[in-house]
Amino acid sequence: MTFTLLIGNNFISNSPKDIKYDNKILFKLDQNQNSNIPSISVNVFDQKNNQVVKVENNILKECSSELTKKKSEPEHILIVDKSGEIIFESRVLDSKTILVSGIFYINGLKLTITQNYIVLPSEKWIMHDKVNANNKDIIITNEGIVSIS
């Protein structure tokens, strides 16, 4: 069964695998064989390159003591900072859809994914893209979201 990723009001269909920016993996997606739902694995780092969140196959493994775990279930992980800003969220909406948002630092650059848009380090916004992943990796670029052939 295939699944769709929703990031920043962008729809990436047909089971995307690794989601990348600037040749760095932001997170990995797969289909959980046991429950048949989309599965995410991610390491989230702060601005100083310290790991603050670790998720493996929809299971929260590590969370910095500086952050608050609002939800820690396989279908919904929500981690916020002291001001309430979402640091990482993954939510399985149904067996075919996963929504991901958060703040990702790549080589010291901040990439923000909200439920409504993606803000690149250049401050350009990306939203309303529809991409067919064809079971391949996806890369977020200044020109938009593309599937890697």
Please tell me the distance from the alpha carbon of residue 37 to that of residue 113, in angstroms, as a whole number.
22
Cα 111 to its chain centre, rounded Å, is: 11
Place of tokens 């952050």: 67
pLDDT at 89: 98
Please tell me the distance from the alpha carbon of residue 36 to that of residue 2, in angstroms, as a whole number.
10
The domains of the chain are located at 4-147
Of the candidate ranges 22-36, 99-113, 118-132, the one whose mean pLDDT is the lowest = 22-36
Question: Six-digit token pair at 41?
Answer: 């694995």
> Which carries the bigger pLDDT value, residue 29 or residue 108?
29
Please tell me the distance from the alpha carbon of residue 103 to that of residue 75, in angstroms, as a whole number.
20
- Checking if the pLDDT of 101 tops 90, the result is yes
Average pLDDT, the chain: 95
